[in-house]
Amino acid sequence: MVKVAVRSTNDKIDDVRITGDFFSHPEGVIEELERKLVGLRRIEVGEAVRGGLGSGTLVIGFNPQELIAMIEECTK
């Protein structure tokens, strides 16, 4: 189970928290992704997530496309 909480203003992300029952490696990759997402518009989320969870990153519990969908849904 993954929980995504997003606070946004005028289509820009002010804050995002990704929590839940998942595993990620390297350690800190989710926190780094959260920082990268702040200030982005909804349309920029996909590229940022795919880049942040790209090569060399292991996530068990969700895939990048699922996370993109959750974040975009929160910013509607």
Question: Tokens standing for 7?
Answer: 């606070």
Ordered by start, the domain boundaries in the chain are 2-74
Is pLDDT at 55 greater than 90 in this prediction?
Answer: no
Closest alpha carbon to 3 in 30, 21, 24:
21
pLDDT given for residue 54 in this prediction: 84
Is pLDDT at 56 greater than 90 in this prediction?
Answer: no
pLDDT in tens, 16-32: 999 999 999 998 999 99
Question: Tokens standing for 54?
Answer: 């790209």
> Does the global pTM surpass 0.75?
yes
Q: Which fold has domain 2-74?
A: Enolase-like; domain 1 (3.30.390)
11 falls in which pLDDT band (50, 70, 90)? confident
